[in-house]
Structures are given as structure tokens and as C-alpha cells.
Structure 1
Amino acid sequence: MDRRLTRWRASLRIARRDAWRHRGRTLLVVAMIALPVLGATFVATVIRSSSPTVATTLHQTLGDQAQALVTVDPCGFAIQQVPTGGRTCLSDQPVEEVGEADIAALVPAGAELVARHEFGVDLYTDEVRIGDEVLAATDAERVPGLLPLTSGEVPSAPGDVVLAARLVDRLGLDLGDAFTIASGESEVPATLVGVMRNGDQSGLAAQDTLPGDGELSSSWYVLGPVPVTWPDVLALNEIGVGAVSRAVLLDPPPRAEVPYYATFDPGTSAQSSTIGLVAAVAGIGLLEVVLLVGPAFAVGAKRSTRQLALVAATGGRPADLRRIVLSAGLVAGLGAALVGIALGLLGGAIIYLVNSRGDYPPPNLVLPTWELAAVAGVAVLLGLAAAWLPARSASRADVVAALAGRRSQATPRRRVPWIGVGLTVVGLGLAIVGATRATMLMLVAGVIVMEVGLILAAGGIIALLGRLGPRLRAPVRIAVRDADRQRGRTAPAVAAVLAAVAAATAAMVFSTSEARAQDASWAPMAADGTGYLTTYSFIDPAQDAQASFDDALSVVRAARPDAAFTPVLGLIPDDPAGFVELWAEPDPATVCADDLTEEQRAQDERCAAGLLTSGYGWGAQLLVDDGTMVAAAGLPGADEAAAALADGRVLVNDPDVIWPDGMVHLTLAASRDDAGNETADPVELAVPAHVVDWRHWSYGLLLSPEVVDQLDPASVAARVAPIGALVGAQAPLAQADVDHLRRLLADVGSGGGLSVEGLQNSSDALSNSLIVAGAALAIALAATGLSVGLAAAESRPDLATLAAIGASPGLRRKVAGAQAGVIAVIGAVVGVGTGLLLGYVLSLWQRTAGQWGALWETVVPWPAVALLALGLPVLAIGGAMVLTRSRLPMVRRMAQ
């Protein structure tokens, strides 16, 4: 044992001295290994910090002293309680209404209950109105430590409110300022008495402050010296009440005592698939690092050939030579672990500090613990793995040839490329089958096998290129032949470039396709930047629709005189509780039959599921337009649609409602009142139609005035009235403009509101693709540079010979550029092709098993792909030529 330690100490001393002597190469190797270490540490820190710890949960939920917070779940069903406080509703176990007395009977005797109620409210001042916020009301003075105040005091009297800093900034308030809280038809005055840190909560009000309308949930804080135990929580669950208990969080029960785990199995296949996908991505990334770092160790081993030969000549065994090179990997891995972990922790802390100033900050800063040991171990293993092949080659080197200065070349194995081709084909087949059958594990396995196969086949691709050598110019011929002869050095670099380019291309295709699917799921009613001024809702009586429209229009017109307004008309019932049932009957030939089996339904196109869409909407169910509104909407094909409406046709967005006679068959079932009584006899109409490809439900059936005239207004008890307007402005409406106009519309009526098409779009797929392409370029250039550096060291005698017989000084630069071009061109061409294929396979999987279904289309970001495919060879060749010296130092030839 002591002898082994002595040998390792000597090897590590040699490796440390060599690393210090070649600091540039050492820094490059340490940076390569430290990158995944930094990323893993950073991600672990962010993930740990994004979930509240037990202490944070207790402080945010229960303050300093409360024993529990019990909540009547709004779904009204029984709840299986997990210790963290999460709840799951069971639809087969309805519960009765629960009150404070029911809860008091199940909590420890003598406990005090403090009510907490949450309301959906709007907040507004004289300038701004903010909607859809959730505000809680409780006696905060009786629950100390509940509010994370940054300024002000705890609300104590009715009307006192503490708001999150993000809402205070949007409302433009200072401490002591008054504002209004609205919920439904109720409004109450309020005063800002404190500001709390941003987080999940919008704010807290004193008891008896919030209006009675719009209550979302009722909760109670349990105060007292006696803890709420797990049996108490289970008893509360039986009456449909959830509880977050201090005692349970500090001392959670065994898993077997939690009914949630007996009812639901958290270990679902989806989780396994996610873990498998993450593991696959991590594995490919680590393999990429090994491919990148390996040539750097090969450079060191080549430059230390004579030193290693001297060790062998003085009695060193092959194991000693391997140990010396492996020690270099060990030293680099340890250094990379320290650097990567330190930078990862620093980056995680910086991101926390930056995000803590945002609207929704992370709950706490938590540094990883056991993850750091795992990451450090991975860094050491990466160093050893990258140094293994160079160490193996060094132990097999010809000692006599090395001492004499001659270069020995290893004969490549011909079967390795063919094995790579076979693995590539098998992996592609597995990936396609996994994608079509929505089997994530098979898909992941196929992608990994395919990547490994391409890496093994890299040597064969170089050999094929070598056959073109005689037809090429001198610098390129020298580079191609050198790459073919030295496949052990060139193949890892080509594989690294190929893998990086393929992964980046696939990622760009996937992210761009996902962004396109997200955009496709959103169904716009008009072009981006168009405002939707809504002045009517279902609860407004029809006779007031015109007055509400006029008032709202005058308010917005006064605030934005540059805006253009196009009225939107709707068919609305005279009775505010009634509605008109009018729809287009589908062609019977396109209807899915009820007597089909599940297998027949899966194969029948008529039974295909409809696409889920989202978007803004008007208050009325049916719109009426003569073409004016559609033309102002500005969607593609709007002019043709407007002309069709002007001709008296209706608009539909489903071709299946067009019957063989070319008409749309409308059915007016009835207009019903709030008691369900029919106020009209059924009516059937056959009218001409125009089909549009706008997927918003408003265009599922848009009526023309001529078609409405065919309905008897008296019998259907409905009329055409304005329900809003399209707003077009020279300067686009920003969120601040919307908040201000909503405040101005607050007094118009319950239906008044304003939204803007396009404000919901936040993704920039092209920018993200360019970032991915830039990262792939950096990785590929690093791999190319390492290989070119090694090639320059090995080809120096050949270039010196060429110079001696009259070659120009610039030949060396041309050869270096050609060597870089061989690696970059092969890696870019094969990598882009492979990445496009992988992107198609992932898209196939998304169409089969993803949430987007038929909305998913394979979209290639050609600008980013072109940047990667063309920019990589250009930068690699240009960089190699610029950074290579044209004149060579004298090379001493050893006597042979």
C-alpha cells in the first residue's frame, strides 16, 4: 500500500509541475471540466432556492406562533392531506358546508381561532386600475410575524391594508394614501398602511375591510400552546378541511401514515420519463466534455513523449506511464471541481439577489449540500475519463522511437466505424419508434445510442474524406492526409464538434417549434396591438348596452384622441338572464358515429379531437358585422371576409359545417330565460357562408345583418347592440396605458374593460436559437482549436522540411486553416443533418404524446442554423490562420 501511495505521490507531483509549466493548456482543460460543474452547482442552487424550506414555510404561512392554518377547500370535496399542506380533491366524496364551530370541535381544546378570508378584487386609484388580484383579510396583530413588512405597520383598523411592493409601484401609492377595493358590485375605501416584500401574496387587510362579494376561501389560524398533530389533521381532512400544521412540518409522519400516498402513486411514468430525459441530456453533455478535454491531454502526452520514454527507459512500467498521464486528469478534475463549485455557488447567489428584487422573488437562498460532493466526484471522473485514452496510448508507445525522435502511428481499427454506423441506424429506429408510440424511455435510449454511434463513426467519415486527398490543393491535401493518418487525434475533435452542433440544432428546432405551437394555441381576434374595449357582459340588460358603449367610448376617446374606434355588435337577449341558442349544424357526413369502437375512433378522421385554444373574448355569444369590424381586425384574409359579410353571408371557421349544397344550416333552438323557459320556437335557416382559418371561437359563427333580419326579433327576444369596440392607436398601448384606461373605465359599468392583443406574447424563439447557436459555436471552436494545436505540434517537422525545400512561409497558416476546416466542415455538415433529424424525431414525439398535438409543426430556424453551419467553418479556418505563426523555429533532428 505504501509503495502504491508513493508512486501516486510521485505521479501527482509530476502532473502538478507539468500543469504549472503549461498553464495555458491547464486553464483550458480546467475551464472545460468546470463548465458542467458550474452548471450543475448553479442549477442545484436555483432549484433548492426555489422551494421554501420548512422554516420559510412556517414563517410565511404561520408567522411566529400560530400552530396551524386550516382551510375549507373551495372545491367542496374531501381532501387527502400531505404533510406539506398540499391537497387533492376527491370527486366521489362530497362534504357539507363547514364552519368555525366544526373546526373548533376538531382542534386541540382551548385553541383560539382567528379567521382569514381571501377575496378576488380589483384595486384602483384615480389614475390606475388593477384587476384579478387575490387579497386576504385577517387580524394580523393576533398572529405575530405574519407579514414581511419593508415599511409601515401591521393593519389594525378596518380599512387598513398592506400591499406587495409590486402593486404599490403599479398603483403609484405612498404610505397613508387612499385607494379603492372593488369586488363585484361592492366597493370599499382603503388606506395603505404598510408595504410587504414581493411574493405569492398580493397583500393583507384588516378584518371587516374587504367587501363581502367575491370570497374565494375561508381559513382560520389556530393559536394556543397545544400543537395540531397529524391525527388532528386527518380528522380535519374527513370533513373536507386542509391544514398546514407547525408540528407536522417539523416532525412529519411516516409515509405509511399519509393517506395521500395510499391513494395516489407519485412515482408515475411521467416522472420516470422526465428523469430519463434529464439523465440523457446530462450524459450527452458529459460525453461532450470528455471528447473536448481528451485531445488536450493527448497534446500534453505527445509533448511529454520524451519525458515518458525516459521514465520507461529508467525502469518505469507501463502502469507508471498510465499513472502519470492519469494524474494530470486527476489534478485537472480537482482544480475544475473547486473552480466550478465556487463559481456555481456565486452565480446562484447572484441570481437569487437579482430575482429577490423582482415581482415574484424566490422564497429563500439555500445552498446545496450533498450535491456538491456528487458534482466534485463527477469532475474528477471526467478528468480521469478524458485522460484514459491518452494514458493508454502513452503506456504503449515505442520507447526507442520516442527517444530517437521518431513518430509512431497507431493503426486504426476498421470495424469501429462500421459499429458506429450500425449503432446510428439502431438508435434512429429506436427513437422513431419511441416517438410514434409516445414511449419516452425508448426515445431517450434511441437518441443516446444514435449519438454514440455517430461518435464512433467519426473516424470512418474522416477516412472517406481522405480518399479525396489527391484531388485537392497542397495545403488541404496535407491536412486531409494528416487527419486520416492521425484519426486518434482528429476523430475525438470531429465527434465533439458533431455532437455539439447536432445537439444545438435539435434544441433550436425543438424550441422554435414549441414557440410556434404556443403561438398557434393562442387564437387572436385581431392583429397584434389592437385593443379590445368591452362594454357589455351577460349580466347587463340589453337596453343599457348602447349607453354603456357610449360612455366607455367617450372616456377612452378623451384619454387617447389618436385612437381609432370600430364598434363591435352582438346579438344579445333582452332579458339579462336569458341567452340565444344559435349554432351551425355540421354536415352529417363529417360527424363521428356513436357506435364506433375505440380502435375505429382512433383511425376515423371524423373522430379527431378538436384543438384547444385560448384568447380574449367579448361579452356576447354571437357577433354581428357587415364587414367593418372584420376589416379593422386586420387578420390575414380580412378583406375577402369583409366582402362576404357585406354580401350577406356568414363567417365560419370550420369547413365541416358547409353542407354539400354549399350552405350553412343554422338552428335557433330557443331563447331561454333564467328559469329555463323557452321564449321562441325553433328556427332553421340555410344561408351562404365564407370559411376563414381564424380559430377564435368568435369566428365559429359570425352573422351578417341580412341573416339577423331573417330572425324574428320579437320571437327570439334579442336585439343587435354594441358590445365593445376595436381600438387602433398610432402608438401601441403598453401595460401602463391599459392600467390607466381600466381605471378610467371603472365607473362605466361592470362590463367595461380593455385588453390588447399581443401583450401576452413574451417568447423570442429566434433570440433563444441564436444564443444556443452561439454556445455551440464556442464549444465547437474549442474542440477545433485543441485538435489544430495538437496537429501543429506533430506536423512541425514536416512543415520544416517543406520550408527547407522552398515552401512559402504562409504555407503553415494555410495548412493550419485547412486542418481546422477538415474538422469544422465535417462536424458542421454531419452535425446539422443529424440535428435536423433529431429535431424531427422530437417533433414527432410531441405530436404523438405532447400537449400540443396537431398544433405542433416542425419549424427550423434557418437563420440560426445557417449561422451554425456556415459560421463555424469560417471562424475555425480564419481563427486558425490568424493565430498560427507563419515562420517556424529551427527543428533539430535526432540521429537515427
Structure 2
Amino acid sequence: MHRWLTRWRASLRIARRDALRHRGRTLLVVAMIALPVFGATFVATTIRSSSPTVATTLQQTLGDDAQALVTVDSCGFVIQQVPTGGRTCLSDQPVEEVGEADIAALVPTGAELVPRREFAVDLSTDDVRISDEVLAAADAERVPGLLSLTSGDVPSAPGEVVLAQRLVDRLRIEVGDAFTIGSGETDTPATLVGITRNGDSSGLAAEGTLPEEGALSRSWYVLGPDAVTWPDVLALNEIGVGAVSRAVLLDPPPRSEVPYYAAFGADSRPGSTIGLVAAVAGIGLLEVVLLVGPAFAVGAKSSTRQLALVAAAGGRPADLRRIVLSAGLVAGLGAAAVGIVLGLLGGAIIYLVQSRGDYPPPNLALPTWELAAIAGVAVGLGLAAAWLPARAASRADVVAALAGRRSEATPRRRVPWIGGGLAVVGLGLAIVGATRATMPMLVAGVLVLEVGLILAAGGIIALLGRLAPRLGAPARIAVRDADRQRGRTAPAVAAVLAAVAAATAGMVYTTSEARAQDASWAPLAVDGTGYLTTYGFTVPGEDAQDLFDEALAAVRAERPELAATPVLGLIPDDPAGFVELWADPDPATVCPDELTEDERVDDERCSSWSVQSGYGWGAQHLVDDGTMVAASGLPGAAEAAQALADGQVLVNDPDLIWPDGLVHLTLVPPRDEAGNEAADPLELTAPAHVVDWQHWTYGLLLSPEVAEQLDPTSLAARVAPVGALLTTQGGLTQADVDEMSRSLADAGSSVDLLVEGLQKSQDTVGISLIVAGAALVIALAATGLSVGLAAAESRPDLATLAAIGASPGLRRKVAGAQAGVIAVIGAVVGVGTGLALGYVLSLWQRTAGNWGALWEFTVPWPAVALLAVGLPALAIGGAMLLTRARLPMVRRIAQ
């Protein structure tokens, strides 16, 4: 053991001195390995900080000394998870009313219970209204430490409220200002007495501020010297009460004593997600090994004479291997230290930035055991990258090395064939996995394909070597050198190939996804058109007109130049009701039930459903005489408006037109109080006009004549406004929306203003350029490393050529040709492989991604061309510019 440690200590000393002697190469290797270490540490820090620690949970939930917070659930029995306090309600248990006395009987004797309630509220001032916030109410003075105030005081009297900073900013008020809290039908005047930091909580009102009957939940703080133990929590669960206990959080029970885990097991992520993440991580780590490997090969080559002296002095092949591996170990340790420090620093910076936002992370939590695992991966990467150069160094010809001659290993011919076979098998697996929507097979196919191409890189270089006699002198020297030194060139080609393939596939996937998202978006009108929606599912039909008039008056007062076109809908009188009306498809176009799954795939009548998104009006069916459709400005709007004016209906599915040329409608009258059908369904026909607008509103749009045939009064429904189209020259902007939203704040929560074309869309050009730029950096780094090694090895040859009359620029041309061999092979094969992978991913999305026919294989040709053409150009130009033209004459020993 002592001898083994001594050998490693000597090897590490040599590796450390060599690293300090060649600082540029060392920094490059450390940076390559530190990059994934930095990313992993940063992600681990961010994930840790996104979840509250036990200390944070205790402070935010229980304050300084509360023993527990117990909450009545809406069922008679719950199963509680530890330590988060998350609960699962068992709905088959009877629901019983639980009161304060029931809870007092199950908590420690003498404990004091302080009520806490939560309310759904609207906060408003004279100018602003904020809807759908949850505000808690409790006696904060009896639960010290519950609020972390940034200014002001704790609320102590009814009407006093503390709010989060984000709500204070939106309300534009300060401590001491008055505002109004709306809960249900009650508006309560309130005063802001304090401000808390932003977080999940909206704030806290003093007890008695809001009416008890409007509470969303009933909770109590448990105060006293005695802890609420895990048996106490289980007893509370049995009556439908959940509890967050200080004692349980600080000392959680074993999993065997938690019924939640016995009933539901541990949470787990889908295997497909784990496999996909593992595949991406594996390819990324393999890329790092391929990039760093040539750097260690450069070091081993430059230390050939030193290693030969060690061998001549009695060193065994294992000692030579250990010396080169020590370089990887030193680089891995250095990269681990640098990457972890930068990752922790980056996570802390992100936390500080996000803590200033509206929803900051709960705390800054640094990873613990994850750091050891990340450091182990960094060391493993260094050792893996140094393994092949270490094996080559241990097998070097000692006599040739001491004499200054170069000995070259004979490449194994079967390796490229194995790689080609693996690439074919991997591509087949990926295609089958994509067409059958089997994620594990798809992931395995992609991995096998990548590994196969890496192994086949040497064979691709050998094929190119057959063209050497037909090339000029610089290119011929470069191609023959690459073929002869495949151990140095193949890893660089593989690294470039993998980087370009991954980048191309990523750009194809991103562009195709953005195209599918655009295709799934169904507009109601042309871009810039405003949608003033005034109807919600909580608005009775008889109130819709008044709400519309109030909202439209507010808009016209703010922007009188806007053209407003009312939008009418068929609205039930009961907000909870709905109109059962649909258009029956032509029976000849319906997918038969007796078809098998394979037959359904080939039958056009059985087309799969695809996702669709867009703005809506709230009402199930619109009624229009052509005015609204004409104002929409969509292609073909004039013909569609005329059809509605003629009494037809609009549909966007040709299969709804029967052979008689009409649409067959089915209407189910409202059910009675017992839920039974009050009358038989009504069937009627109507002429129809087909549009190619994909929005579901145009799936069936009624004309007034057809709506009259339905007799809306007998349906307990009426035709009433649900909103208006707002149009102006040049269209509405986000600034217009912000200005008018203040005027609409008092109209109610059902009123909203949206603008077509302002929805967020993915910046595919920017993403593609970033991906392409990252691939260029990786590929140029790999090319530069290989060219540097080639330059060191070919210096005697080039010096000899210069001695017999070769021009000084020949070395620049040779260096450019050497870079071109690597970059051209990597770019061409990488782009082709990336396109194939992108096509496979497109097949998978069409099969299993719920996009269906909306997903199209879309190639961002400008970015792909940047990789295919720009990479070789940059590599060749950079190699020629950075290479010295003149070399001193060196001693050349015949081989």
C-alpha cells in the first residue's frame, strides 16, 4: 500500500509541474471540464433554493414559537405526508363538521388556539383593482415572528392590513393609505399598516377584518409549551384535519410510520423524462471527454522523451500510464474546485436577482451531497479523457522516443465497421421508437447512433485519405497526416461531429416546435384587434347587457376614436347552465367503431385530434349577422359576413356539410331540476358557409335567423353581448391595453382586454443562433486542439520542406488544411446526422407529442448553413492566421 501511494505521489508531482509549465493548455482543459461542473452546481443550487428549508418553513408558517398550524380539510379523513405537510383527502370517508373544540381535544392539554382564516379577495383603490388574491386573517400579535416586515407595524385592530410589496406597488399606495377589500359581495374598508417582502403570501389582515362566512379555509395556530407530536398529527388526520407541526418538521418520523408512503409510495418522475435527461447528460459528458482527450494527447506527445526516460530508468508501463492519468486527475480536481465555486457564486447571484422580483425564492440553500457527486464526475471526466492517451504512452517505443523518431500505432480496422453498424442500428431504433411513441427505445437509439458515429470517425478519415493523391500539396500533407495519426484526429472529428449534430437537431426541434405552436394558435381576428370580453361563467344572462354597457362606456371615455363592434352570444340564464347544441358530421365521414388501431391510422376519417389554442369569448356559441365577422378582417371575411346576413351558419369543418348541402343541428332542451330531459332533442337543418379559420368559435357560428329557430327563451338562454371587437388604424399595442385596463378595473372581474398578436411567441432565430454559436465554439476548440498537436508533430517535416525551398506560407496552408479536414468532416457528417435526428424527433412528436399533423419537420436553413459553411471557414482561416509561417531548422533523424 505504501509503495502504491508513493508511486501515485510521484506521478501527481510530475503532473502538477507539467500543468504549471504548460499553463495555456491546462487552463483550456480545466475550463472544458469545469463548464459542466459549473452548470450542475448552478442547477443544484437553484433547485435547492426554490424549495423552503425546514427553518424557512417553520418561520413562515409558525413564526417564532407556535407549535403547529392545524387546518380543517373538506373531507372526513386525510393521509398526511412528511415533512412537507402535504395531504391527500380520502373522499370515500364521511364528512363531519369539525370545530375548535374537536381540535382542542386532540392537541396537548392547555394549548391555546388562535384562529386563522383565508379569503379570496379583490383589492382596489380609486384607480386600480387587483383580482383573485388570497388574503389571510389572524391575530398576528399572538403569533410573534409570523410577519417579516420591511416597513410599518403588525396589524392589531380590525381593518388593519399588511400586504406584500408587489401588491403595494400595483395598488400604488403607502403605509397609512386606505383601500378596499372585496370578499364575495362585501366591500370592507382597510388601512395599510405594514409591508412584507414578496413571496407566495399576499399579506395578513387583522382578525375580524373580513366576515367569517366568506372564508376559504379554517385553521388554528397551536400555542403552548408542549409539542404537537406525530401521534397527535395522526389523530387529527382521522377527523379530517391536517397539521404542520414544529416537532414533526424538526424530528420527522421514519417512513414506516407514515401512512401516506404506505398508501401511495414515494413520488417518482416518469421513466421517459429520466431517460431523456440521462441521454442528454450522457452525450454532454461524452462531448467533454472527446474535447479534452486531444489536449491530454498533446501533453503526452510533448512529454514523450520525458516518459521514455522514466521507462529507461526502470519505469513500468503502469507507471507511464499513471503519470498521464495523474494529469487528468489534477485537471479534474482543479476543474471541480473552479466549477463548484463559480456554480455556487452564480446560484447566489441568481437568488439575489430573483429576491427582488414579485415571487422570490424562499431561501438560499446550498447543495451538500450533490457537490461531492459533481466533484466525482469532474474527476471521472479528467481520468476518462486521459485514459486513451495514457494507454498510448504506456505502449510507446522507448528507443524510438529517445532517438527522436516518431512511432505510430496501427489503427484497428474493425473499429470503424463496428461504429458504422452501431450507427445504423441506433438510427433504426430511434425511428422505431419515434413511430411507436416509445421513449426508452428512442433515447437508446439516439445514444447508440452517437456512439457509433464517434467510433466510425476514424473510418471516415481513412476514406478521405484515399483522395490525397488528387489534392494539392498542403491538402495532401494534411489528409495523409490525419489518416496516419487517427488516434489524434479521430477524437477531434468525433467532437466536432457530435457538437454539430446535437446543435442541428436542437435547432430543427426548436424551429419545428415554434412552427407547431404558431400553427396551433387560432386567431379570432387580425393582429392588433382588441377583444373586450365582458362575460364570464359567473355572470347571469340577464346581467350581461348591463356589464357590457358599463365596460364599453369606460373604453369610449378613455379612447373615443376606437371602433367597437358588439359580439353577441347565446348565454344561459343560469351561470352554471350551458346550451347543448352541436352540428352532426356527415355519417359518411365518421370513423367506424369496428376498425382496428392499424386500420384507424390509414383511414382519413379517423384523423387524430391536435392541440389548439387562442383567445375566447366565454360563450359557447356566438350569434352574428355578419357585422362582427366583417370587422375581424380575416381572409374571406366579406364572403362569410354576407353568408351570415343571408341567414346561413358558419362552420370550419367540411365534414359537417351533408350530401343535401345543409348542416344538421341537434339541440337538447334544458333538463329539469332532477336532471332528466324535459323534452326530446330538437333537430333542424340550415344552410352553411365553410371557412378555413381554425378557431373553435367558427366551428359553429349562428346567424340571427337560425338562433330564432332555436327559440332561445325556451332554452332558458338569451342572445346578449359577451364583448366587443376594438379596432383602430395601426392596431392596439400593449401600452393601449395598460391604459384602458385602469378604466376597466371597476367594471368587474369578468371584464378583460386582450389584443390579437401580443401573445408571446418563441424567438426561434435567437435560439438557433445561440445554439449554432455554442456549437461553433465547441467545434473550433476541438479543431484547435487537434491542429496544435498536428503542428507540434509536423514541425520536423515542415522545417525540412522549408530547407529544400518550400515557401514560408506553406506551413500556414498546411495548418489551414489540417483544420479543414477536421472541420469539413465534422460539419458535413454532423449536419447530416443532426437532420436525421431532427426528423426522428419530428416523427416522435407527431406520434406521441399531441401535436399531430401540426408538427412539421422544419429546418432553419440559415443557422444550419452557418454551421455547415461557417465552421470550416472559421477553422481554416483561424488556423492560417494563428500559425507562424517561418520555423527554425530542426535536427531530423531518419526513421
- The two structures have a TM-score, normalised by structure 1, of 0.92
Query: Secondary structure, in 3 states, of the residue corresponding to 2:216?
Result: strand
Alignment-mate amino acid for residue 6 of structure 1: T
For residues 112 and 662 of structure 2, what CA distance do their matches in structure 1 show? Answer: 69
Q: Residues 602 and 144 of structure 1: is their aligned pair in 2 closer, same or farther, counting only changes over 3 Å?
A: farther
CA shift for structure 1 position 300:
1.3
Check 1:167–1:451 CA distance in 2 against 1; reply closer, same or farther (3 A cut).
Answer: same
Match of 2:172 in 1: 172
Other-structure match for 2:66: 66
Correspondence 1:722 to 2:729: no
Matches within 5 A, 1:307-318: 307-318=306-317
Q: In the alignment, which residue of structure 2 is the partner of 1:455?
A: 454
Aligned position for 1:840: 839
* Structure 1 contact 578–673 (Cα < 8 Å) conserved: no
Work out whether residues 534 and 751 of structure 1, in 8 Å CA contact, stay in contact via their aligned partners in 2. Answer: yes
8 Å CA contact retained: 1:121, 1:214: no
Task: Name the residue aligned to 2:583.
Answer: 584
Partner SS for 1:66: coil
Counterpart mapping for 1:272-351 below 5 A: 272-351=271-350
Structure 2 residue runs without a partner (length 5+): none
CA displacement at 1:451 relative to structure 2: 1.2
Instruction: Report the equivalent of 1:664.
Output: 663
* Corresponding letter in the other structure for 1:109: T
How far apart, in 2, do the equivalents of 1:39 and 1:28 lie?
17
Deviation at 1:779, TM superposition (A): 1.0
CA-to-partner distance for each residue in 1:54-83, whole Å, 9 max, x for gaps?
Answer: 111111111112222222335x47432101
CA contact (8 A) 1:34 1:340 kept: yes
For residues 456 and 677 of structure 1, do their structure 2 counterparts lie closer, same or farther at Cα, with a shift above 3 Å needed? closer
SS in 2 for 1:648: coil
- Residue 11 (1) aligns with residue 28 (2): no
Given that 2:529 and 2:756 are in contact with CA atoms closer than 8 Å, whether structure 1 keeps it comes out as yes
Helix, strand or coil at the partner of 2:811: helix
Task: Give 1:418 deviation, angstroms.
Answer: 0.4
Paired position in structure 2 for 1:216: 216
- The residue that corresponds to 1:815 in the other structure is 814
Give the corresponding residue for 2:865. Answer: 866
- Alpha-carbon contact 1:137-1:204 (below 8 Å) kept: yes
Q: CA deviation at 1:565?
A: 2.3
What is the identity, as a one-letter code, of the residue corresponding to 1:773? A
Aligned counterparts of 2:201 and 2:733: Cα–Cα separation in 1: 25
1:509 counterpart residue number: 508
Structure-1 residue corresponding to 2:352 = 353
Whole-angstrom distance in 2 between the partners of 1:876 and 1:810: 17
Which deviates further from its counterpart, 24-33 or 82-91?
82-91
State the partner residue of 1:803: 802
CA displacement at 1:662 relative to structure 2: 2.9
CA distance in 2, matches of 1:593, 1:557: 53
Deviations 1:258-315 (A, max 9, x none): 22222213365x4443333323222221211111111111111112222222333333
What letter matches 2:378 in structure 1? A
Between the aligned partners of 2:521 and 2:204, the Cα distance in structure 1 is: 34
**CA contact under 8 A between 2:496 and 2:779: conserved in structure 1?**
yes
Query: Which residue pairs with 1:792 in the alignment?
Result: 791
Verify the 8 A CA contact 1:572 1:620 in the aligned structure 2: yes
Task: Provide Cα deviations, 1:441-475, integer angstroms capped at 9, x if missing partner.
Answer: 33322222221111000111111112222222332
* 2:876 maps to amino acid: I
Instruction: Please tell me the residue identity of whatever aligns with 1:861.
Output: P
Q: Which moved more, 1:115-124 or 1:572-581?
A: 572-581
> Does the aligned pair in 1 maintain the 2:76–2:238 contact within 8 Å?
no
Question: Within 2, Cα distance between the matches of 1:768 and 1:94?
Answer: 54
Q: Greater shift after overlay, 104-113 or 588-597? A: 588-597
- Corresponding letter in the other structure for 2:232: D
* TM-aligned CA distance change 1:125 to 1:758, over 3 Å: farther
Three-state SS of the structure 2 residue aligned to 1:338 is: helix
Establish whether residue 500 from structure 1 lines up as the match of residue 499 from structure 2.
Answer: yes
Aligned counterparts of 2:440 and 2:157: Cα–Cα separation in 1: 59
* Offset, 1:29: 0.9
Q: Do the aligned partners of 1:48 and 1:368 also contact (CA within 8 Å) in 2?
A: yes
More deviation, 48-57/135-144: 135-144
Give the counterpart letter for 2:557 in structure 1: A
**In the alignment, is residue 135 of structure 1 matched against residue 135 of structure 2?**
yes
- Equivalent residue for 2:570? 571
Residue 89 of structure 2 aligns to a residue in which SS?
A: strand
Amino acid aligned to 2:805: G
1:881 maps to what in 2?
880
Per-residue Cα deviation, 1:711-757 (whole angstroms, up to 9, x for no partner): 44665565533321122356876667646534422444564332344
Q: Which residue of 2 aligns with 1:769?
A: 768
Shift of 1:765: 3.5
Contact between 2:199 and 2:358, CA under 8 Å: does it hold in 1?
yes
Local SS of the residue matching 2:666: strand
Worse overlay, 194-203 or 523-532: 523-532
| Greater mean alpha carbon deviation, residues 641-650 or residues 670-679 | 670-679
Q: Which amino acid aligns with 1:416?
A: V
Q: Give the aligned partner of residue 201 of structure 1.
A: 201
Q: Do the aligned residues in 2 keep the contact of 1:578 with 1:674 (CA within 8 Å)?
A: no
1:830 aligns with 2:829: yes
Alignment of 1:567-646 (within 5 A): 567-572=566-571, 580-591=579-590, 610-611=609-610, 613-635=612-634, 638-646=637-645
- Provide the alpha-carbon RMSD of the alignment: 3.0
In 2, the alpha carbon distance for the partners of 1:642 and 1:195 equals 54
Aligned partner of 2:551 in structure 1 is 552
Q: How far apart in 2 are the matches of 1:196 and 1:737?
A: 31
Q: Determine if contact 1:679/1:716 at 8 Å carries over to the other structure.
A: no
> 44-53 or 590-599, which moves further after superposition?
590-599
Measured after TM superposition, the shift of residue 345 of structure 1 is 1.2
* Match in the other structure for 1:24: 24
Provide, for residues 16-75 of structure 1, a one-character-per-residue CA deviation record: whole Å limited to 9, x for no partner: 22211211111111111111111121111111111111111111111112222222335x
Q: Percent identity?
A: 82
Partner of residue 49, structure 2: 49
Q: Note the 1:391-402 alignment, pairs <5 A.
A: 391-402=390-401
The 3 A distance-change label for structure 1 pair 718 and 390 is closer
2:123 touches 2:181 (CA, 8 Å); kept in 1? yes
When structure 1 is superposed on structure 2, of 344-353 and 664-673 the one drifting more is: 664-673
Instruction: Using the TM superposition, name which of 514-523 and 876-885 deviates more.
Output: 514-523
- 8 Å Cα contact 2:803-2:889 kept in structure 1: no
- For residues 851 and 785 of structure 1, what CA distance do their matches in structure 2 show? 43
> Partners of 2:606 and 2:204 in 1: how far apart?
50
Q: In 2 relative to 1, CA 508–115 (structure 1 residues): closer, same or farther, beyond 3 Å?
A: farther
CA contact (8 A) 2:800 2:889 kept: no
Q: 1:284 to 1:732 in 2, by over 3 A?
A: same
Give the deviation of 1:760 after TM superposition. Answer: 4.7
CA distance in 2, matches of 1:31, 1:371: 20
Q: Which residue of 2 aligns with 1:362?
A: 361
Counterpart Cα distance in 1 of 2:448 and 2:482: 25
The answer on whether the counterparts of 1:579 and 1:673 sit within 8 Å (CA) in structure 2 is no
- The answer as to whether partners of 2:528 and 2:733 remain within 8 angstroms in 1 is no
Partner Cα separation in structure 2 for residue 519 and residue 222 of structure 1: 53
Which residue of 2 is the match for residue 233 of structure 1? 233
Alpha-carbon distance between aligned partners in 2 of 1:138 and 1:762, rounded to the nearest angstrom: 43
Deviation of residue 359 (structure 1)?
1.5
Q: Which moved more, 1:193-202 or 1:86-95?
A: 86-95
Q: What amino acid is aligned across from residue 767 of structure 1 in structure 2?
A: G
**Stretch deviating more after TM superposition (840-849 or 241-250):** 840-849
In the superposition, relative to structure 1, how do residues 672 and 532 fare at CA in structure 2: closer, same or farther (>3 Å)?
farther
The secondary structure found in structure 2 opposite 1:702 is coil
**Preserved CA contact (<8 Å) 1:843 1:856:** yes
User: SS in structure 2 opposite 1:814?
Assistant: helix
Give the stretch that moved more between structures: 689-698 or 44-53: 689-698
